[in-house]
Amino acid sequence: MATSVEHPTAALKVQGLRKAYDDVIAVDGLDLEVESGECFGLLGPNGAGKTTTIEICEGLLSPDAGSVEVLGRRWETDTKELRELLGIQLQDTQLSEKLTVDETLTLFQSFYRDARDVGDVIDTVELGEKRSSRVGTLSGGQKQRLAVACALVGNPQLLFLDEPTTGLDPQSRRQLWDLISRFQAEGKTIVLTTHYMEEAERLCDRVAIVDHGHIIALGSPRELTESLDISHLPPPEPRKTTATLEDVFVSLTGRTLRDE
Amino acid sequence: MSDPRPVEKGTSALGKRVPFPLTEEQRARELRPLKRRGFMNSSMAQLTLVRFREFIREPEAVFWTFVFPILLAAGLGIAFRQRGPDKIRVGVIGTAPTSASVIASLKKDSTLVVESYDDSSGAKALRTGKVALLVAPTSSNDSVRYVYDRGRSDAVNARVVVDRAVQVGAGRADPVRATDAYVTEKGSRYIDFLIPGLLGMNLMGSSIWGLGFAIVTARSKKLLKRLMATPMSRVQYLLSFLASRLVFLILEIFTLLGFGHWAFGVPLRGSLGTLLLICLLAAISFGGLGLLSASRARTTEAVSGIMNFIMLPMWIFSGVFFSSSNFPTVVQPFIKVLPLTAVNDALRANMLEGVSFAAVLPQMIIILTWGVVTFFAALKLFRWR
Ligand SMILES: Nc1ncnc2c1ncn2[C@@H]1O[C@H](COP(=O)(O)OP(=O)(O)OP(=O)(O)O)[C@@H](O)[C@H]1O
Ligand SMILES: [Mg+2]
């Protein structure tokens, strides 16, 4: 494995991914490449297939077709190693309500060969005051931060965050952005999903807009906003001078709800 | 988009790019031996500790595991305690001329409680079961009539006792003189039968509920899925349930048997080592059943149904509250192979009869077989996410 390369290599490489459920094709031929050291955002309407895609990349779901390569490894052969290298926050996990913050993190820490200090991680997500509180007594945003802390405690190389800032107050959100930037500054990779365009613009080097299970736009936030011809936007948008990522999103994915 | 490759990077300044497959740091980190941790910080210890904490922080679970069996044992033990021979209540119609002498004769027998009635109230007392038998003296000295229900064994018994008292009172002399020696054998009372059965039932209940509920709750909250996303060992996860069960098992055994022994003098005639071994095997075996019940279910409602479906037949057939020999002979072979029957039989043989280890071996084999089969079936079926 000594094939050290000069140019950046993909931390995540997904090709021709497909996943169908009984009544819906959740992921439909999705290709994706995330470079190492990158902060990559997956955007898309509800039900677009973001969570399904991420969970396949995390080795928690198996795809119907397509290949996934994470940090140069494959789930079929290197599961154990990959589990050590990834930090994962799922969209809807409820951690055990009866344990305290400290106990929860100590448990997660115990699974990893090379883990971070629990106290450090608690400080990183600013849950110091809640250290000995039961998880059941935490607020929604605090639980969300604990979930991120659980993802960090294994000292991962690649962080998957599925809607990490949903339900956070502005302070917590900014604090999480800081945390992500610091993580990235260590040369590590982040893949996240979000419904906040402003967040994607601030945080992500590149974003992919996913709809109906495949990618309909890909590039840096600036590329995407510059590529949008704002004169074609329906009112009231034209009064702006530059398009926002939200304009791009809405013009690409349409204005109808996806959850009906 | 025809070409999804980016043209330029995003706006935020990126640090150095890390080449893959392996950076120096990663290589170093993968070669590094496992970070030294104290035993308490090992994943096995932590998982077991979590089981512990989740259990003791659930007051209901503690109640059902430790307090309820003792309340049950105390209640049933007191209700069915030996009180010496029951008194027989009989009534006498007091209006006949010979009534007084009949009553006098009956009162000499200490096992009888005698009450006097008139015709209608006597009939009522008999009908409502206040008395087992009604004596109706006639006007002549040499005849008496007993009114009672021949289908009731206590009434038939009363007939025998009352008649003897009446005859003796009238001057009958017994040709053979009899004396009585009374004994009460510890180990043959209801409480002696009950305590091993309760222990077996408790071992079954806490293993099956403890595993089934905890696992399905974790699954339904996606916690199991989250744990699967870590390097946690699945075997350790399952073992942690057994490990914590074993500790609570010891407590369960000591509270229940200790209570039975202290409050009712329930005997422990067999070897304590064998007793512990039976309990250990039972806990592990029922743990397999618990695992199997929890292997597929996605909701706690579903798993509750499954667990009750598994346990209810055993509560009835396996001889917890009454002997399983009450059931017809044709179903006995099926009852005998139920795990709880094997556990209860082995516990009773050990505690009450004090038999050797070899004598409970057949039961142990049944218990072990259940454990192995259910465990592997559960592993095969288990839904990890
Ligand atoms: N377990 C499942 N069984 C059946 N259908 C599923 C399942 N999980 C997801 N789906 C369907 O797959 C599609 C994609 O779901 P997914 O969770 O990936 O969307 P998403 O992009 O993460 O949406 P959101 O922004 O709301 O989180 C949806 O139509 C969803 O209903
Ligand atoms: Mg989602």
Please report whether residue B233 resides in a domain: yes
Tell me if residue A28 falls in helix, strand or coil: strand
Phi and psi based region of residue A98 (left: phi greater than 0; alpha: psi -120 to 50; beta: remaining): alpha
Q: Is A37 in the pocket of ligand 1 (CB under 6 A)?
A: no
Phi, psi of A24 (to 5 degrees): -150, 145
Query: How far, in Å, is the centroid of ligand 2 from the Cα of A251?
Result: 21
Q: What mean pLDDT is reported for chain B?
A: 85
Cα–chain-centroid distance for residue A224? 19
Same domain, B309 and B360: yes
Looking at the structure, tell me whether residues B75 and B137 fall in a common domain. Answer: no
CB contact under 8 A, A113 and B16: no
Please give the residue range of the domain that contains residue B129. 88-169
Q: Using pLDDT thresholds of 50, 70 and 90, give the confidence band for residue B82.
A: low
Residues B165 and B277 in one domain: no
pLDDT band for position B8 (50/70/90)? very low
State the closest ligand 1 atom to the C-alpha of A19, by its place in the atom list counted from 1.
12
Domain assignment present for residue B282? The answer is yes
- B115 and B231 fall within a common domain: no
B129-157 as b/e, with b when 16 or more CB fall inside 10 Å? Answer: eebbbbbbbeeeeeebeeebeeeeeebeb
- Other beta carbons within 10 Å of A153: 27
- Mutation for B interface: A77, A111, A225, most B CBs within 10 A: A111
Say which residues have a Cβ less than 8 Å from residue B130's Cβ, sequence separation at least 6: B89, B91
- Which of B169, B203, B227 represents a domain boundary (last residue)? B169
CB B146 within 8 Å of CB B162: yes
pTM: 0.79
- CA B159 to chain CA centroid, nearest Å: 40
Please, what is the angle between helix B272-294 and helix B234-264, to 10°? 130
User: Range with the lowest mean pLDDT among A203-212, B237-246, B279-288, B296-305?
Assistant: B237-246
| Overall domain count for chain B | 2
DSSP A111-143: T-SSPPPHHHHHHHTT-GGGTTSBGGGS-HHHH
Residue B71 and residue B162 in one domain: no
Is B155 inside any structural domain?
yes
Q: Is B122 found in the same domain as B65?
A: no
Shared-domain flag, residues B95 and B57: no
Lowest mean pLDDT: which of A229-233, B10-14, B61-65, B156-160? Answer: B10-14
Q: What per-residue confidence (pLDDT) applies to B83?
A: 63
Give the percent of chain B with pLDDT over 90: 50
Q: Per-residue pLDDT for B25 more than 70?
A: no
CATH 3.40.50.300 is the classification of domain A10-253: yes
Residue B346 lies in a domain: yes
pLDDT of residue B240: 92
User: Do B14 and A184 make contact, defined as CB atoms within 8 angstroms?
Assistant: yes
Strand intervals (E) in chain B: 88-93, 112-117, 133-137, 144-147
User: Do residues B359 and B216 both lie within one domain?
Assistant: yes
- In this predicted structure, what is the pLDDT of residue A47? 92
d(CA A235, CA A212): 26
The B residues from 218 to 237 touching A (CB cutoff 8 Å) are: 218, 221-223, 225-226, 228-232
By mean pLDDT, which of A34-38, B165-169, B179-183 is the weakest? B179-183
* B30 in a structural domain: no
Percentage of chain A lying above the pLDDT 70 cut: 89
Is A141 touching ligand 1 by the criterion CB < 6 Å? no
Encode pLDDT of A120-134 as tens digits. 999 999 999 999 999
Residue B232, exposed/middle/buried by CB under 10 A (0-12, 13-18, 19+)? Answer: buried
Instruction: Please answer whether residues A238 and A251 qualify as being in contact, where contact means their C-beta atoms are separated by less than 8 angstroms.
Output: no
Ranked by mean pLDDT, which of A38-52, B76-90, B164-178 comes out on top?
Answer: A38-52
In a domain, B175, yes or no: no
Residue of higher predicted confidence among B33 and B370: B370
CA of A51 from ligand 1 middle (Å) equals 7
Lateral strand order in the sheet of A86-89: A86-89, A158-162, A189-193, A39-43, A206-211, A214-219
Give the H or E element holding residue A35.
Answer: strand A25-35
- B213: closest CA of chain A, how far (Å): 13
Query: Is residue A1 very low, low, confident or very high in pLDDT (cuts 50, 70, 90)?
Result: very low
- Mean pLDDT along residues A71-89: 94
Nearest one of A4, A31, A28, A1 to A15, comparing CA atoms = A31
What pLDDT is stored for residue A140 in this prediction?
87
Query: Which residues surround the ion ligand 2 when the cut-off is CB under 5 Å?
Result: A 51, 91
pLDDT-derived band at B2, boundaries 50, 70, 90: very low
Strand partners, B133: B90
pLDDT at B5 over 60: no
What is the DSSP annotation of B303-354?
HHHHHHHHHHHHHHHTTSSS-GGGS-GGGHHHHHTSHHHHHHHHHHIIIII-
Least confident of A162-166, B78-82, B331-335, B361-365: B78-82
Give the residue-averaged pLDDT of B100-105.
Answer: 88
Residue of minimum CA distance from atom 3 in ligand 1: A21
Say if residues A249 and A221 touch (Cβ distance below 8 Å): no
Predicted pLDDT of residue B7: 34
Six-digit token pair at A25? 């094709």
Residue A230, amino acid:
I
Do B328 and B202 sit in the same domain of this protein?
A: yes
Mean pLDDT to the nearest integer, A144-164: 95
B99 with B207, same domain: the answer is no
Residue A99 has a pLDDT of 96
Answer yes or no: is pLDDT of B29 > 60. no
* Predicted pLDDT at A238: 52
Q: What is the structure's pLDDT at A160?
A: 97
Query: What is the band of B373 on the pLDDT scale with cuts at 50, 70, 90?
Result: very high
Residues contacting A17, CB < 8 A, separation 6+: A27, A29, A30, A31, A32, A53, A56, A63, A65, A66, A67, A68
Q: Is A43 in the pocket of ligand 1 (CB under 6 A)?
A: no
CB-ligand 1 contact for A51 (6 Å cutoff)? yes
The pLDDT assigned to B188 comes to 77
Q: Residue B36 falls within a domain, yes or no? A: no
The answer on B296 and B367 residing in a single domain is yes
CATH code of the domain covering residue B132: 3.40.190.10
Residues B222, B326, single domain; the answer is: yes
Choice between B203 and B28, residue whose per-residue pLDDT is larger = B203
Residue B50 has pLDDT above 80, yes or no: yes
Query: What is the edge-to-edge ordering of all strands in the sheet holding A65-70?
Result: A25-35, A10-20, A65-70
pLDDT mean over B238-245 = 88
Q: Strand, coil or helix: what is B33?
A: coil
For residue A175, pLDDT over 60 is answered with yes
Taking CA atoms only, the protein residue closest to ligand 1 atom 27 is A46
pLDDT band (50, 70, 90) for residue A83:
very high
Report pLDDT digits (tens) over A190-239: 999 999 988 999 999 999 999 999 999 999 988 888 777 666 655 555 55
Spatial separation of the C-alpha atoms in residues A246 and A223, rounded to whole Å: 13
Contact assessment for residue B20 and residue A73, using Cβ atoms and an 8 Å cutoff: no
Report residue B103: phi and psi, to 5°: -60, -45
Asked if residue B177 belongs to a domain, the reply is no
Q: Give the ipTM of the model, two decimals please.
A: 0.89
For the segment A50-55, the average pLDDT, to the nearest whole number, is 96
